[in-house]
Chain A
Amino acid sequence: MADVLPKFPSRRLPTRRTVAGRIEPALGLRILSLQQALEPNELLEFEYCIQRISAQMIDRLEVSVAWYTEGKGSEDIGVHYFESYGRADLAKNPLSQPHKVAVKLPTTPLSFEGRLFKIRWCIRLRLFLADGREKIAEQRFYLGTVTSEV
């Protein structure tokens, strides 16, 4: 029997840098509907909030409802709803308070799970920070009644 010991990195973990040097913002995103599967033309309601960061440290926030393909083929993307908020827009309301958005969903494309590719619907928050970094939060949902496994 051989003793297997865990391998640790030779240098120390950069805890001070991530904790003290640069505070990571927290993006909160929640679908308000009770179920994950939504019907075409249904109203999608969701809320988002941004914590641990002030509006001065944000360059831009993009909120989108989009579909994209995932799988063997190159990615296709379609944006159904898109809003971009600048620093001035974000400074009007407290960021940590939930911001509600309601979007009427389209009829196509329905979520699809094939062998070669899948069509996924998601709500995406893309936060551009003033220092050039980018943070993304994504919440998937299922659109339509096509069977999930083909």
Chain B
Amino acid sequence: MVRSRLRLWGKKRGSRMSGWWVVGSVSEAAFFGTLFLLGIVSLTTVVSWQVFWPESSVLKVGFGFWLMVIACCSFIVIGLSGFLFKVSGTLASPERRNALVSQVKREHQRRAEGTGAAESTILPSLQNYTDSPGVKLAYRLSSESGERAPLLVSTLFAMAWNTLLAILLVVSLQNLASGKPNWFQIVLLALFTVVSFFATRWFFRIFRKHAGIGPTAIEISDLPLLPGEMYKVYLCQYGRVTFERLTITLVGYEEATYQQGTDIRTERSEIASYESERQVEPDGSTELIADPEHPLEMLCHIRVPFDIMHSFHGANNAVRWKLVVTGVVPKWPTFCRSFPVVVYPRDAR
């Protein structure tokens, strides 16, 4: 009986811990407290040494001294914040902590805005979506910023690798010219050339996908999107391109961020998609051709269903909605661009 009460360590079993949870919290608090004390003692020693024995060669003011000061300060900050976090976690329930944080946030928001009720923090703010007025419809949507990341990465990688290859090539040629060929360098050069070929091809593929088709502009009649409502969506495609098929779809994703070991991972899954209906032109034309003088214009209608889940931005979980423009162009990679939108519940506006 005594043994089961005094178990000092535990295992995580689902959402609960076996053993006595207080021991874990106390140990963590003790660790952070020790780190804090270590930082204080070290900083005091380093600084007081300089004050009382300025002629001493030990811990002289210089690179090493400032490195020690920074290390000691980081110990103090990490130790103190960790200790306070652990103590607050042990003394208050999750509901109490959350209620206190919410109250402070509400007070801060109320003071910042003067009066009025505090806005919900889990719904994304409309300000980022409605700051750009449209030409044909109310708002012009901005494209998702993350889509340019692969192009940037491939550009940097291809440039760096090809620079490396050029340096290696020059060194190898110099050795060959001086009559001292280095065979290891030549083998390395061959391997580098293969990697360079694939890196350059990867860059051109992404570049062609982005730059080959001109920019896309999307405008929407109103924001936020509300369940059960119908919205107009206007698309304008610049550049010179002929599409076989072009669709605008409202797509919802759920995202979950979790910790796996020391990594933080985000997983994403599509929850729903609703395709828009194209409004037929007065002359009955259904051609999807854009040229530099006459960009392709398309007006669509999209109905938001009644049972749609609203946008949700938690600290670790999220539901995001976006308008995805997908085009099929002959002899070209699939064209896909997305424009984030926000969906509110019916009563939240």
Judge whether A101 is part of the interface by a CB distance below 8 angstroms: no
Contact across chains for B319 and A112 when beta carbons are under 8 A apart: yes
Total A-B pairs, Cβ < 8 A: 109
Main secondary structure of the interface of A (DSSP, over half): loop
> Provided the pairs A41-B347, A73-B316, A82-B95 are in contact, do residues A146 and B269 lie with their beta carbons within 8 angstroms?
no
Within 8 A of A (CB), among B290-349: 306-310, 312, 314-317, 319, 345, 347-348
CA A115 to CA B256, docked complex, whole Å: 10
CA A4 to CA B221, docked complex, whole Å: 70
What sequence of 0s and 1s flags, for each residue 71-97 of chain A, a beta carbon within 8 Å of any chain B beta carbon?
Answer: 111111111001010000000000000
CA A75 to CA B95, docked complex, whole Å: 13
Contact across chains for A72 and B258 when beta carbons are under 8 A apart: yes
Contact across chains for B347 and A107 when beta carbons are under 8 A apart: yes
Judge whether B168 is part of the interface by a CB distance below 8 angstroms: no
B106 nearest CB across to chain A (Å): 12
A66 nearest CB across to chain B (Å): 6
What sequence of 0s and 1s flags, for each residue 261-287 of chain B, a beta carbon within 8 Å of any chain A beta carbon?
Answer: 000000111011000000000000000
> Provided the pairs A14-B1, A71-B317 are in contact, do residues A114 and B269 lie with their beta carbons within 8 angstroms?
yes
Question: Of the 9-residue stretches A26-34, A49-57, A116-124, which lies at the interface with chain B?
Answer: A116-124
CA A144 to CA B344, docked complex, whole Å: 13
Contact across chains for B345 and A73 when beta carbons are under 8 A apart: no
Contact across chains for B96 and A146 when beta carbons are under 8 A apart: no
Judge whether B122 is part of the interface by a CB distance below 8 angstroms: yes
CA A22 to CA B326, docked complex, whole Å: 66
CA A53 to CA B294, docked complex, whole Å: 80
Contact across chains for B312 and A126 when beta carbons are under 8 A apart: no
Instruction: Using CB atoms, name the residue of chain A closest to B315.
Output: A76
Partner of A69, one of B120, B123, B314, B347: B314
Instruction: Using CB atoms, name the residue of chain A closest to B272.
Output: A150
Judge whether A147 is part of the interface by a CB distance below 8 angstroms: yes
Judge whether A24 is part of the interface by a CB distance below 8 angstroms: no
Judge whether A44 is part of the interface by a CB distance below 8 angstroms: no
> Provided the pairs A108-B123, A124-B95 are in contact, do residues A117 and B317 lie with their beta carbons within 8 angstroms?
yes
CB-CB under 8 A from B268, the residues of chain A are 116
Contact across chains for B310 and A73 when beta carbons are under 8 A apart: no
B344 nearest CB across to chain A (Å): 8
Contact across chains for B95 and A146 when beta carbons are under 8 A apart: no
CA A77 to CA B122, docked complex, whole Å: 11
> Provided the pairs A69-B314, A107-B348 are in contact, do residues A117 and B93 lie with their beta carbons within 8 angstroms?
no
Contact across chains for B271 and A108 when beta carbons are under 8 A apart: no
Contact across chains for A76 and B120 when beta carbons are under 8 A apart: no
Instruction: Using CB atoms, name the residue of chain B closest to A150.
Output: B271
CA A40 to CA B348, docked complex, whole Å: 9
Contact across chains for B317 and A108 when beta carbons are under 8 A apart: no
Contact across chains for B122 and A73 when beta carbons are under 8 A apart: no
CB-CB under 8 A from A119, the residues of chain B are 312, 317
Taking A62-B96, A73-B255 as given, write out 6 further A-B residue pairs in contact, using a Cβ cutoff of 8 Å, ordered by the A residue number. Answer: A64-B99, A72-B256, A73-B257, A112-B312, A126-B93, A146-B309
Residues of B within 8 A of A (CB): 1, 93-96, 98-99, 102, 120, 122-123, 254-259, 267-269, 271-272, 306-310, 312, 314-317, 319, 345, 347-348
A-B contact pairs, 11 of them (CB 8 A): A66-B98, A71-B317, A73-B314, A73-B317, A74-B257, A77-B98, A79-B99, A82-B99, A108-B120, A114-B319, A116-B256
